[in-house]
Structure 1
Amino acid sequence: MDNGGAAELRETHCLKGHADRAWSLAWNPSPGAGAGPVLASCGGDKTVRIWKRAPDGTWHCSDVLEDTHNRTVRSCAWSPDGKLLATSSFDATTAIWEYSGGDFECVATLEGHENEVKSASWSQSGSLLATCSRDKAVWIWEMHPGNEYECVAVLQGHTQDVKMVQWHPVLDVLVSVSYDNSIRVWADDGDDEWHCVQTLTEAGNCGHSSTVWSISFNQNGDRMVTCSDDCTLKIWDTSIDLSQPKTGEGHESWRHLSTLTGYHDRTIFSAHWSSEDVIASGAGDDAICLFVEEKSSMVEGPSYRLILKKEKAHDMDVNCVRWCPQDPRMLASASDDGTVKLWELGGSVLD
């Protein structure tokens, strides 16, 4: 697809090592002073791989985390301080890994879900971890000293497999997406009781008409993007005043802003919002698309436009796309073809 030369997505590295499909990716948000970017990937081979960039610019696998999960590792997530890595597996557990003394050690295994755990996400404070499962439930765990984890809430509401959970980047508000086509917003009422404060559906809120696979917030937390088996991405906006105290009020104010359709012709599995406000999506059509907000004064309100579609980004389904926090023009993608690719975004994309 011609983008007029305004944007270019150039493959810089192809990281090979997984012996099965690569499911998910997570960049370490705080790799340490003087350290380069650190990327975790996980897959159907039951392993997690840690990738690091050497001073000469090459990438290598520094660690393979294995022999803990006995089924597919579906997702991975770093804690905000970059010291812990949570890995969720089809074996119904979530493992917590700590990097200490030059090695990764599994310091806790969280059990309780009835079957496959699909996703894990740390709260912005790092004190809470959310997990979700095919058992339709979302669990919230509180971390205590000594790597002790206590389940403080089991959130029921979804009627089918919960595909992903994601904490808001500023508030202790959790969003979950599901095979039941819905998006649910969860908040604490102030008395340590968690409730679903808003459900976004096709009928009531211009939501998705099929499985919702992924969610990502923009850096400010006032917008989020979701993607679905219905081959659309949807942009949502909130009227929450993020400068106000972090109470449970107002979190039910998400509204549909825009629908991006016609860009992927198969299921969109992943969407991620960069710190430079570029949205990346990866799908079952083996492609990656990039979108930015249309800068105009049209009375209809904000809209988003495609700036680039990378056909055949991988040989098979693109399962995950993630922008690097240290380098907002670096994108990582994971695929059913077993590879992890790194891309560099060039051109005047935000003009």
Structure 2
Amino acid sequence: MMDEVEVAIAALMCKDVVYKKWKSNVRFVYDCFTNHKLVWPSLSCRWGSQFEQGTYKNRQRLYLAEQTDGSVPNTLIITNCDVVKPGVAIADDISQFNEEAQSPFVERYKTLLHPGEVNRIRELPQNSNIVATHTDSPDVFIWDMEAQPNLDPVNGAAMSRPDLILTGHRENAEFALAMCPTEPFVLSGGQDKSVVLWSIHDYITSLGLTESGSSSDITKDSPKLDSRGVFEGHDATVEDVQFCPSSAQEFCSVGDDSCLILWDVRSGNSPVVKVEKAHDDDLHCVDWNAQDVNLILTGSADKTVRLFDRRKLTAGGVASPVRKFEGHMAPLFSIQWCPDKASVFASAADDGFLNIWDHDTVGIHENARGKKNPSLFFPHGGHRDRIMDFHWNPAEPWTLASLSHDVTSPYGGGTLQIWRMRDQLYRPEEELEAELIQHKENMKTFGLRAKSKRSKKRSKKSSK
């Protein structure tokens, strides 16, 4: 029997084979693809505002972080990214990327010196310049990214000062973090087994949501805000939280107790519904469908994704998901619904794959075990190592940013990829057929015109 080292080596060799096969097909399946090598690993990535539109590409903010070894401070970074428009990129350019190079399409714009490692970044939907970050502490930090000064991490500068510090957790809150789509509310979960809710409405002016902007004086102490409510119901660490897209009063949470809990502020601080065995292992991630608020996705250490209908949830016992999705070979880290189609979602895991699914069954694709999976229609295999986070681009349909921590790479660091699959992979068949028919008709018309021109030339020659 192979020991753990042999198993690890075998897994790396298998992944290397899969990666090489993926790379050979990049030009055929991607409409755009950017690979950017990071010096330090980053655990989170989030799209910010789109601030420039061009003929062939648009420019957009993207938030990253640097998890350093202590020789320089940990950082929170704003980058400017060029996102190529559909149908513009050349296939040869897409396939000829250098894995170990930094892309000219990703440019560092501003650096904040973050007090501790950045575990999670979330932007405020009402103003994406405002972000919240989690670190290894009980507090949540709020930042006005545009108003914060740019600092040099190697110049001995003082740490950046958060615009607001949210307090309320009794123990570290490392990963569970969400911003409300409808109100300036923040939600967090932590090792204290609690879910904590804040409203930053009273601090909107100081956070730069008005023309006055926020204070960037890092010598002052950051203001602190107490929670609006603490919600108890989990029996272990809360790993992820999410607001209901249509209500600031409703939210859900998942944790290491394998529970999915639905909450409603109007009903008090106790769970409205507690599904005690939503998965067979720890739950790591959850997302609520913005286009169909009855649908909730969960991802687990049991390597599966499950789809729940909140109308069919009952408190206690084993839950019955609407669908169960199998395809990953390792625990899931993040999951998110596609903003462009209600039935599509993506999941990322420790196996290095970012899978795109459609629970309405758009196509049939083999999963990592070679088994036909009717809901998996695009596995992104561009990362050599574990995928820590990803984010659908809200401004560019079907475009994603994904982030891996290159643990096994001899170069270390991480990899950021910005990509969009070819539209032939997700557009309806009837739409593609209609386009081909129209293209064929155009070619016929062009052919007839060309023929008529040749005929005129021949007639002129014959007359001479």
Provide TM-score, normalisation by structure 1: 0.81
For 1:17 and 1:291, locate their aligned partners in 2 and report how far apart those are by CA, in whole Å.
Answer: 28
SS of 2:359's partner is: strand
Question: How big is the shift at 1:60?
Answer: 1.3
Structure 2 equivalent of residue 38 of structure 1: 61
- Where do residues 276-287 of structure 1 align in structure 2 (5 Å cutoff)? 276-277=340-341, 278-287=344-353
| Native 8 Å contact 1:26 1:39 kept in 2 | yes
The structure where helix makes up a greater share of residues is: 2
Structure 1 equivalent of residue 29 of structure 2: 8
How many residues end up aligned between the 2 structures?
322
Out of 177, 186, 192, the position equivalent to 1:129 is: 186
Structure 2 equivalent of residue 75 of structure 1: 120
Pair 1:264-2:328 in alignment: yes
Pair 1:106-2:162 in alignment: yes
Out of 156, 171, 174, the position equivalent to 1:117 is: 174
Structure 2 equivalent of residue 22 of structure 1: 42
SS of 1:106's partner is: coil
Cα separation, partners in 2 of 1:266 and 1:56, compared to 1, 3 Å: closer
| Native 8 Å contact 1:197 1:251 kept in 2 | no
Structure 2 equivalent of residue 96 of structure 1: 142
For 1:55 and 1:274, locate their aligned partners in 2 and report how far apart those are by CA, in whole Å.
Answer: 18
Q: Find the structure with the greater CA-based Rg.
A: 2
Cα separation, partners in 2 of 1:285 and 1:11, compared to 1, 3 Å: farther
Stretch of structure 1 that moved more, 147-156 or 285-294: 147-156
SS of 1:196's partner is: coil
For 1:295 and 1:284, locate their aligned partners in 2 and report how far apart those are by CA, in whole Å.
Answer: 25
Out of 117, 140, 149, the position equivalent to 2:197 is: 140
| Native 8 Å contact 1:24 1:43 kept in 2 | no
| Native 8 Å contact 1:76 1:119 kept in 2 | no
SS of 1:118's partner is: coil
Pair 1:60-2:107 in alignment: yes
Stretch of structure 1 that moved more, 282-291 or 341-350: 341-350
Pair 1:174-2:251 in alignment: yes
| Native 8 Å contact 1:214 1:269 kept in 2 | yes
SS of 1:189's partner is: helix
| Native 8 Å contact 1:290 1:306 kept in 2 | yes
Structure 2 equivalent of residue 326 of structure 1: 395
Question: How big is the shift at 1:55?
Answer: 8.4
Structure 1 equivalent of residue 237 of structure 2: 161
Q: Deviations over 1:223-268 (max 9, x none)?
A: 121111001001122349xxxxxxxxx998x96210001x111111
Cα separation, partners in 2 of 1:139 and 1:251, compared to 1, 3 Å: farther
Question: How big is the shift at 1:284?
Answer: 0.9
Out of 375, 398, 402, the position equivalent to 1:305 is: 375
For 1:200 and 1:304, locate their aligned partners in 2 and report how far apart those are by CA, in whole Å.
Answer: 27
Out of 399, 417, 433, the position equivalent to 1:341 is: 417
Q: Deviations over 1:59-108 (max 9, x none)?
A: 21212221x322x2110111112231101101332211013457476211
| Native 8 Å contact 1:94 1:117 kept in 2 | no
Cα separation, partners in 2 of 1:137 and 1:42, compared to 1, 3 Å: farther
SS of 2:247's partner is: coil
Question: How big is the shift at 1:320?
Answer: 1.4
Gaps spanning 5+ residues in structure 1: where?
241-249, 297-302
| Native 8 Å contact 1:92 1:111 kept in 2 | yes
Question: How big is the shift at 1:150?
Answer: 3.0
For 1:210 and 1:306, locate their aligned partners in 2 and report how far apart those are by CA, in whole Å.
Answer: 22
Structure 2 equivalent of residue 314 of structure 1: 383
Pair 1:209-2:256 in alignment: no
Cα separation, partners in 2 of 1:231 and 1:142, compared to 1, 3 Å: same
* Structure 2 counterpart of 1:39, one-letter code: L
Structure 2 equivalent of residue 200 of structure 1: 275
Percent identity over paired residues: 20
For 2:226 and 2:148, locate their aligned partners in 1 and report how far apart those are by CA, in whole Å.
Answer: 28
Q: Deviations over 1:128-151 (max 9, x none)?
A: 111111221211112113456331
| Native 8 Å contact 1:163 1:177 kept in 2 | yes
Cα separation, partners in 2 of 1:51 and 1:155, compared to 1, 3 Å: same
For 1:304 and 1:139, locate their aligned partners in 2 and report how far apart those are by CA, in whole Å.
Answer: 38
| Native 8 Å contact 2:361 2:375 kept in 1 | no
Structure 2 equivalent of residue 236 of structure 1: 308
The structure where strand makes up a greater share of residues is: 1
Cα separation, partners in 2 of 1:171 and 1:304, compared to 1, 3 Å: farther
Structure 1 equivalent of residue 299 of structure 2: 227
Structure 1 equivalent of residue 366 of structure 2: none
- Higher relative contact order (Cα pairs below 8 Å, separated by 6+ residues): 1
Q: Deviations over 1:255-294 (max 9, x none)?
A: 6210001x11111111111123321111111111111133
| Native 8 Å contact 1:165 1:177 kept in 2 | yes
Cα separation, partners in 2 of 1:39 and 1:291, compared to 1, 3 Å: same
Q: Deviations over 1:39-62 (max 9, x none)?
A: 212353332222222488822121
Question: How big is the shift at 1:333?
Answer: 1.0
Stretch of structure 1 that moved more, 56-65 or 271-280: 56-65
Cα separation, partners in 2 of 1:18 and 1:251, compared to 1, 3 Å: farther
Provide TM-score, normalisation by structure 2: 0.62
| Native 8 Å contact 2:167 2:225 kept in 1 | no
Out of 44, 48, 61, the position equivalent to 2:76 is: 48
Cα separation, partners in 2 of 1:107 and 1:317, compared to 1, 3 Å: same
For 2:335 and 2:65, locate their aligned partners in 1 and report how far apart those are by CA, in whole Å.
Answer: 17
Structure 2 equivalent of residue 244 of structure 1: none
